Structure 1
């Protein structure tokens, strides 16, 4: 039996089920599989995640606001910020009431963390990011890049 703890952001954080059907050329390859989605864990990191950034613990008024905190280890990670004003961007509460790292167009954050620098194929890596993109205007620009 396969199990995987999964959460999906919803308006009311209610639990629900996802039905998955695998097809090829309109032919069902398997019977439908139902996965329960448990949203009671407040989007915690998957066990063993090597990196977990949680904007719920951050604000622009913290003394280390220009650092990224890896919640999996508690370590501060250097970041290079471009065109940030730390007033209406940065660690904010968005219009939906969610804590977020808000980065406007032509601004950039380079987090000095390289999770794939060492061999990861045999061990695997879990990296969790919640993100939302509003009104993209240039499809040639990276939104997230992991090197």
Structure 2
């Protein structure tokens, strides 16, 4: 399966809210409560200290319709690094390689990023997924280091 990533638009909100509801297991484990109706809007304001709105990117993963969502902040915690808030895939589509394709698509789209960071909570789901994708897990951080890539690919 080949998926594409595109920027989130306001028209995507109803479908993203359905995805959030379908991923309540992740929200429960990561935040301690289910997702709510204001969660999509709040993502626009959820920025690490010292970052700006221009660094925030909400992405929709598509392959014959929306199948995933990515929240990330570019050039954080350092230049050429990115902090990933989460990758979300519907429960019935997990373990089909969609998450792997999302990681591939993110690293291809942001070719100047050399390190992708995920902050981990003690009980956060997805640790095995991150490990399988090549992220190095170290306490409350997971980092994927990718070789610098030129435009010539």
What's the TM-score once normalised by structure 1's chain length? 0.26
Larger relative contact order (Cα-Cα within 8 Å, sequence gap ≥ 6): 2
User: Which structure's CA Rg is the greater one?
Assistant: 1
